[in-house]
Amino acid sequence: MSMTNPTRHPIDHVVDDDYLAACDRAWAVVRDHARSILADVDATPYEAPDGHRAYCLRWLRRAAAMPTDEARPWRGPGGVDGAPDDDAAPTLDLLAHAAGEYPAFLRGETSGPAILLAGEGLRLWYDYFGSGNGLYRPLNAAAADTVIDRLRAAGGSRLLEVGAGTGGATGHLLAAWPDDVADVADVEYTVTDTSPRLLRETREHLADRPPDHVRLDFRRFDLDLPPDRQRVAPASFDVVVAVNAIHNAADLGSSLRSLRSLLRPGGALVLSESICGPGALVHQELILNLLPLPADAYGRLSRFHSRADWLAIFADAGVRAEVLVNSSGPELVMTAVVTPGDPR
Ligand SMILES: C[S@@+](CC[C@H](N)C(=O)[O-])C[C@H]1O[C@@H](n2cnc3c(N)ncnc32)[C@H](O)[C@@H]1O
């Protein structure tokens, strides 16, 4: 396994000073939301009833208590006191929606999926993962750059996306699609998720996006099941991509090896993930903590993995991965490229 910083670093193009300052401002908004939520639930004598809600309550208390200057070693040009900009609106809108629902969630009156994956929440969820959201765009952009580089290198034409969800990364990649990748052949881009509803809605959402030479195929694929049980043949893709999706796997090592087995010789598995340094907090947690937590997250301070966690996950899985993380500011975005072959 290697940690490299080649001259063309797809993350540092997008995680720049402006982005870090925007994260700081979003963080200040989250801290204020956490304080308001706690003021609301503390007004009614309250204790969290189960493991998940208790975890969320602990997280809110940590967030509310975090003194901004010490909490954020990075101080971007706008500082935390600058006004959040329009580019961050999709994140700020979803944060406000989530914050408004937290008291009812903590009282056990509603659930995370009901808040985020239905009605107004689902509309905001689509905007959140799209590249019109400046606070999320780096995840999609770093993945798209890497996928295009790898398709060119493999001279390949078969692409699989796993956990495509709202199609935020898919839409970014289609918009960035360069003409020269199509010289090779028509590209077959298989877009997958476990949610039939998201697949249906995302297909409609992206209907007018594919360039002429890219054929989109939407279907179900579950990271937790062996590919051959889902009619996906080994060694059948040049690139497999997953943007903020692989962490959902019940057994990360097994899913990493399964996805790697789908690669043709010379192919690549491209992973783009939000990360969180040890002991740090990131603004996205206020939103995503509403959804069920992976069992191992209860033993960590964040539901997100750190860079060190990911390096251990790749090593334990026995996969070879080239891992890139933003070089300035706190660790926030990781791109990993897993290649076929050894050691197991
Ligand atoms: C945070 S979203 C990923 C963001 C996505 N790139 C987008 O633009 O919406 C995670 C996605 O992983 C999917 N997912 C969750 N568990 C999965 C599994 N076991 N196999 C495949 N996809 C899964 C979810 O349905 C969701 O759409």
Per-residue pLDDT of the chain (344 residues; tens, 9 = 90+): 444 444 457 788 889 888 988 888 898 899 999 999 999 987 777 777 789 999 999 999 999 998 765 444 444 444 445 555 678 999 999 999 999 999 999 999 999 999 999 999 999 999 999 999 999 999 999 999 999 999 988 888 899 999 999 999 999 999 998 877 655 568 899 999 999 999 999 999 998 877 888 999 999 999 999 999 999 999 999 999 999 999 999 999 999 999 999 999 999 999 999 999 998 899 999 999 999 988 888 888 889 999 999 999 999 999 999 999 999 899 999 999 999 976 55
In angstroms, the CA 280 to CA 300 distance is 11
- Specify the ligand 1 atom closest to the Cα of 161: 6
Examine the domain organization and report whether 74 and 172 are in the same domain.
no
Instruction: Confirm if 220 and 199 have CB atoms less than 8 A apart.
Output: yes
How far apart are the CA of 43 and the centre of ligand 1, in A? 36
What's the predicted TM-score (pTM) here?
0.92
Instruction: Confirm if 319 and 256 have CB atoms less than 8 A apart.
Output: yes
Examine the domain organization and report whether 99 and 224 are in the same domain.
no
Tokens of 194: 């476990």
- Specify the ligand 1 atom closest to the Cα of 222: 20
Residue 223, ligand 1, Cβ within 6 A: yes
Sorted by sequence, the CB contacts under 8 Å of residue 8 that are 6+ apart come out as: none
In angstroms, the CA 183 to CA 131 distance is 26
Examine the domain organization and report whether 158 and 266 are in the same domain.
yes
Examine the domain organization and report whether 267 and 238 are in the same domain.
yes
Examine the domain organization and report whether 108 and 166 are in the same domain.
no
Residue 246, ligand 1, Cβ within 6 A: no
In angstroms, the CA 121 to CA 288 distance is 12
Residue 198, ligand 1, Cβ within 6 A: yes
User: Do the domain assignments include residue 212?
Assistant: yes
- Specify the ligand 1 atom closest to the Cα of 167: 8
Q: How many structural domains are present in the chain?
A: 2
Which of 107, 129, 151 terminates a domain? The answer is 129
Examine the domain organization and report whether 69 and 202 are in the same domain.
no
Q: In which domain, by residue range, is 58 found?
A: 17-129
User: Do the domain assignments include residue 271?
Assistant: yes
Name the residue with the closest Cα to ligand 1, atom 12: 163
- Specify the ligand 1 atom closest to the Cα of 242: 6
Tokens of 22: 């925007």
Burial class from Cβ neighbours inside 10 Å (0-12, 13-18, 19+) for residue 212 reads: exposed
Pocket probe mutation, ligand 1, options 135, 194, 209, 289, max atoms within 8 Å of Cβ: 194
In angstroms, the CA 133 to CA 250 distance is 28
Tokens of 255: 């899913």
Examine the domain organization and report whether 122 and 190 are in the same domain.
no
Runs of H (alpha helix) within the chain: 17-43, 51-65, 68-71, 89-106, 112-116, 119-129, 137-154, 168-176, 179-182, 196-205, 252-261, 285-288, 307-317
Examine the domain organization and report whether 98 and 159 are in the same domain.
no
Examine the domain organization and report whether 186 and 316 are in the same domain.
yes
111-119 long-range Cβ contacts below 8 angstroms, 24+ apart? 112/289, 112/290, 112/291, 112/292, 113/291, 115/290, 116/287, 116/290, 116/291
How far apart are the CA of 193 and the centre of ligand 1, in A? 6
User: Do the domain assignments include residue 50?
Assistant: yes
Q: What is the DSSP string of 149-180?
A: HHHHHHT--EEEEES-TTSHHHHHHHHH--HH
Examine the domain organization and report whether 169 and 317 are in the same domain.
yes
Residue 10, ligand 1, Cβ within 6 A: no
CATH of the domain at 265: 3.40.50.150
> Which among 85, 102, 82, 67 is positioned nearest to 281, based on CA atoms?
67
Pocket probe mutation, ligand 1, options 223, 229, 282, max atoms within 8 Å of Cβ: 223
